Amino acid sequence: MSQIGFNVPFLTGKETGYIAEAAKNLKLSGNGPFSKKCQSFFEAKIECKKALLTSSCTDALEMCAILLDIQPGDEVIMPSYTFVSTANAFVLRGATIVFCDSRADHPGIDESKIEELITPKTRAIVPVHYAGVACDMDVIMDIANRYNIFVVEDAAQAIDSYYKNQSLGSIGHLCTFSFHETKNIISGEGGLLSVNEEKFIERSEIIWEKGTNRSAFWRGEVDKYGWVDIGSSFLPSELTAAFLWAQLESMNEIQNNRINIWNRYYEGLQELRAFGVNLPYIPSYATNNGHMFYFVCNTGTERNQLLQYLKSNEIGAVFHYLSLHKSPYFEGLYSGNELINSDKYTERLIRLPFYYNLDTYDQTKVIDTVINFYRNSIERI
């Protein structure tokens, strides 16, 4: 019996050629020709004012916290059902994290519960586009504008996804993407900061280049470069950018293939509705970018039994986030309301194998195995 893994990175075949080219050019550090090509690509694709490659989405989030001048005691609102980096980036600057619940019908932040969490100390809202599905950005931007606070989109999973025809990553004041090997478009580790506010552009380059005005120097705008602000080394090497460029050239093909895989799961698993399972919901304002396929079981026990059953059939399904407000690090710090939906997804959400080279034979096996589990063990409703 062959194993079906959860994730297998996809290479287009051009990556190593471009890496060899970068090596031959003897331009290996960051912000070289491949980095610039990738950044121009994203500026056109996302329609943001500035795109900067970073070594990870985590780095891009840390840049956002610095750019917003987050100070100890400042409050930042975000969903609890997210990756640790969404919170860590702001915790590193002393922020107090205020967790908001997820929607009942989707793991994204419940935009109707944000406003009640705002205090005079609130500085930012960080919506996370879970599974690449847009949060309700009009509502979120309206709240942010009324209270004069910033919005940072954590679009780590949301490359090539849209909200009412606007590219995700172009709506919030600042946005971050990931090219980690588990995402749609990859470079091993990698990320992107997209800047949509004119006033952050200059400083974003400085923070990116260790707190120096080196980028302006290379453009000939200043005659020497030096230490002008705080910063770090957030830019990836040209080798990483060369790898990424190969992926970007094949973005349409990668995306079409992933969306086809998603559609096959969605159609193949319709029977689960009869067993009370919640298949993924995509609001009419959002698009599906084929990032992952998840569904929500009736109970935590059912989810765990299903995971076990799939494992015994050599299928690598996995659960996802553990609510951050109940994490070992944060538990003692959390003083807010119960987050019922966040807990629900922690206990009941399951993700199925999802990668470019998942062939229809293996995918059919996954679908049939899931359906068998329900037919044999769970009563229809």
Ligand X SMILES: *Cc1c(COP(=O)(O)O)cnc(C)c1O
Report how far residue 256's alpha carbon sits from residue 266's, in angstroms, rounded to the nearest whole number.
Answer: 15
The residue from 35, 58, 247, 346 that contacts ligand X (CB under 6 A) is 58
Q: Which is nearer to ligand X, 173 or 180 (CB)?
A: 180
Kindly write out the interface string for residues 158-197 of this chain, putting x where it contacts ligand X by CB under 6 A and - elsewhere.
--------------------x-x----------x------
Q: Which of 183, 351, 344 is nearest to 279 (CA)?
A: 351
Stretch that binds ligand X, among 79-87, 92-100, 166-174, 303-311 (CB under 6 A): 79-87
Size of the site for ligand X (CB under 6 A): 14
Q: What are phi and psi of 148, to 5 degrees?
A: 60, 50
Residues near 269 by Cβ (< 8 Å), separated by ≥ 6?
A: 277, 279, 295, 367, 370, 371
The residue from 35, 80, 122, 157 that contacts ligand X (CB under 6 A) is 157
The residue from 19, 46, 48, 57 that contacts ligand X (CB under 6 A) is 57
Please tell me what DSSP assigns to residue 134: P
Taking the complex as a whole, the smallest distance from the CB of residue 176 to ligand X amounts, in Å, to: 7
Burial class (CB in 10 A: 0-12, 13-18, 19+), 199: exposed
Residue with tokens 């807010």: 336
Residues comprising the chain, all counted: 381
Q: What token pair was written down for 125?
A: 């809202």
Residue 44: CB atoms within 10 Å: 10
Report how far residue 61's alpha carbon sits from residue 164's, in angstroms, rounded to the nearest whole number.
Answer: 24
Stretch that binds ligand X, among 67-75, 150-158, 260-268, 368-376 (CB under 6 A): 150-158
Q: Which of residues 85-144 bind ligand X (CB under 6 A)?
A: 85-86, 128
Q: Which is nearer to ligand X, 135 or 242 (CB)?
A: 135
Q: Which is nearer to ligand X, 70 or 277 (CB)?
A: 70
Taking the complex as a whole, the smallest distance from the CB of residue 241 to ligand X amounts, in Å, to: 15
Q: What angle do CA 286, 291, 296 make, to 5 degrees?
A: 80
Kindly write out the interface string for residues 307-326 of this chain, putting x where it contacts ligand X by CB under 6 A and - elsewhere.
--------------------
Angle separating helix axes 198-208 and 57-67, nearest 10 degrees? 120
DSSP notation for 239-279: HHHHHHHHHHHTHHHHHHHHHHHHHHHHHHTGGGGGGT-B-
The residue from 10, 83, 162, 275 that contacts ligand X (CB under 6 A) is 83
Stretch that binds ligand X, among 82-90, 107-115, 228-236, 324-332 (CB under 6 A): 82-90
Asked if 289 is part of the footprint of ligand X (rule: CB under 6 A), the reply reads no
Binding residues (CB under 6 A) for ligand X: these are 56-58, 82-83, 85-86, 128, 154, 156-157, 178, 180, 191
